[in-house]
Structure 1
């Protein structure tokens, strides 16, 4: 799965709940986000559950009641007599996802009926964790 031209909205409502620092260079943060909307274009080829997908086009994802954990590893660097933190790595953990609604257009080419049915299956899933695990790596690559 590949995402392009992403537009995220709703992050301004984010609230950092907790921050701790270890050894002056490792930052651990917990964040809550009431809702986020992600729009863009996708290319998807492969199998999800029992569906053989081969589509591309616009998509829209609404997420609600999100709790994230971050671990940011950095190192101190000096440039022009000023000190900065240079980020070495960021690890993200989706701790909680209260709601998820997806709309992928053209999942099966021009077959709108099959595309609508697949979106209904995705949105009817009871276990958000499964959806998160399927999409998590791609989200983190593009966020």
Structure 2
């Protein structure tokens, strides 16, 4: 009874790659299905942090993020290219909001963000009608209450950890 199995077993040892060939297609299909199953339904990525931080309960208006508010309302004067006209403050370069905690205002030399009380940061006071130093931002206008709340939530949530 074992004699008929002996030649195929010996053939396996003689040419192992030939023995695996019939299994390549099913294994490749199984691998592809597993890969598809693990990536399907992944709405968002690391470039979409709101997906991982519960963006649904945000103070931002629907379809708005702190990044979009900064881009639309602040980059005209405070981007990497235009920072010279905006008090040398670059809100476009990477590292925000953490960089705000280490940058001082050109107006009063106070840190733009207060690590002990982020909601009272000078950056946010500049959005109010009477910021205490300099003019209200953005120049010539003001942010909506929703945009101000969105930036406040963003700065408070972005407070860097203690060293």
Question: How would you bin the TM-score normalised by the shorter chain?
Answer: under 0.3
> Highest relative contact order (Cα 8 Å, sep 6+), 1 or 2?
1
TM-score by length of 2: 0.20
Larger Rg: 2
- Name the one with the larger strand percent: 1
In terms of fraction of residues, the more helix-rich structure is 2
Q: Structure 1-normalised TM-score?
A: 0.22
